[in-house]
Structure 1
Amino acid sequence: MDDRFFDWGYAWEILPRLGEAFLITVEATLLGTVIALTLGLAWAIARRSRQRPLALAATWVVEFVRSTPLLVQLYFLFYVLPSAGLTLSPLTTGAIGLGLHYSAYMAEVYRAGIDGVPRQQWEAALALGFGRWHTWRAIILPQAIPPVVPALGNYIIGMFKDTPLLSAITVLEVLQVAKILGSQSFRYLEPLTLVGALLLAVSLLASQLVQKLEKTLAIRSR
């Protein structure tokens, strides 16, 4: 065993394996983001539905998901659903779990943006004879979404940081691979340091992209 505090040779040796696992982490985050953004908007719109059963059902789902831990939800999707005849790969299950969990939080963000649209916009659309879905698509959402982009971006970054939980359902994401490498070599410093650096770099980059997008949308809305 190398007695040096940080073995750069070993770090370079394990970097390709960590890179492959990191791609899995990014893939789970991207898939989860698509699901969360789409479902979150669906929950927010459904909660404002004129059909009370639909609005109540959406409200119940959002509150239930927000009130239960992500890890419990992942276990349920991975270990319980197969008994009901629905078996998915660990990565697919993890992406769905992340997306479903964060969709509940994004629904609240969307709701705040929608509530910020002046009521006169709804009244003007009604006076012009616009249908409800045309009003949503052409008038309400273009005004509601830009102001909440920073909050949505923060949740996406939070989702990225939560991907290590996917190791609980056998997804070999980057932190799990680092732990395996550490257990094999009895050197945890190098793999965990590399993982920390990768996660930090991506989080900072994502934060900068969100800020840039926010400024771009602010300029276009003037």
Structure 2
Amino acid sequence: MFDAQWIFQILPDLLSALMVNVQITVFGYLIALVVGLLIAMARRVPFFGAVLHAVTEFIRTTPLIVQAVFVFLLTPAFISPLTVGIVVIGVHYSAYTAEVYRSGIEGVAKGQWEAARALSLPARRTWGAIVLPQAIRKVIPALGNYLIATFKDTPLLIAIGVGEVLTVARQIGSASFRVVEVYTIVGFLFLLVTIPSAIILRRLERRYAAV
């Protein structure tokens, strides 16, 4: 049986910790969007692109939790686990968003590139006015899916001591011996974030994604 009074007592601590997960997701995802786009654009440079491809494949094929622990152990003590977690999450998912951007860029018709070259448009103009507006619209659904995936992976940062919701839940469960109840509440809290996010992303997909 769930004790409603006890749940209301621990709920503020869990909600406060959940905001840490949201913070990690927002900043990590922004890093992933920016770095992933830069990687996708740089991969069109022949030799440099091959190196970046190897690096992104390495990141994608190694577990996030291993990357987090490895980077944390090499990071100076004055850098907080939260900062390490945000950077690791961002870089990890940049390897995925880079592939998403790449597919969108390759989906732009070759005639568009040829027309830009024929008009002697500078690279900045070609990317900013012709290629990226078309490419990004096509990949909005995939990018949105990685936002939710980023949020669901934030509890893995418990391995480096980030005070997110799973860390607090484990502490509460250990102190109260009510592990099932506290983890059930955490599950519902995650649903309260992911379900509305999924609904919003579907609406954005219908509005902005290319048909």
Query: What's the CA shift for 1:159?
Result: 0.8
Q: Secondary structure at the match of 1:145?
A: helix
Gaps of 5+ in 1: none
Map of 2:39 onto structure 1:
43
**1:174 counterpart letter in structure 2:** V
Give the ranges of 4+ consecutive aligned residues of structure 1 lying more than 4 Å apart after TM superposition. none
Q: Which residues of 2 match residues 154-193 of structure 1 at below 5 A?
A: 154-193=145-184
Q: CA deviation at 1:132?
A: 1.4
Q: 1:114 aligns with which of 98, 105, 109?
A: 105
Instruction: State the AA in 1 paired with 2:120.
Output: G
- The correspondence for 1:9, drawn from 2, 5, 9, is 5
Could you tell me whether the CA contact under 8 Å between 1:44 and 1:108 is conserved in 2? yes
Within the candidate set 21, 24, 29, 1:28 is matched to 24
Per the normalisation by structure 1, the TM-score is 0.91
Cα deviation digits, residues 23-71 of structure 1 (max 9, x gap): 101001111001100111111111112xx33212211211111121111
**Residue segments in structure 2 that go unaligned for 5+ positions in a row:** none
Give percent identity, aligned residues only.
Answer: 50
Instruction: Tell me whether 1:80 sits opposite 2:74 in the alignment.
Output: yes
Match of 1:67 in 2: 61
Query: For 2:163, what is the secondary structure of its paired residue?
Result: coil
Q: Is the 8 Å Cα contact of residues 10 and 190 (structure 1) preserved in structure 2?
A: no
CA RMSD of aligned residues (A): 1.4
Deviation at 1:191, TM superposition (A): 1.7
Match in the other structure for 2:141:
150
* Paired residues of 1:6 and 1:189 also in contact (CA < 8 A): no
SS at match of 1:48: coil
Partner letter of residue 6 of structure 1?
Answer: F
- TM-score between both structures, scaled by the size of structure 2: 0.96
The reply to whether residue 18 of structure 1 matches residue 40 of structure 2 is no
1:165: how far off?
0.6
Query: Residue 87 of structure 1: CA displacement?
Result: 4.7
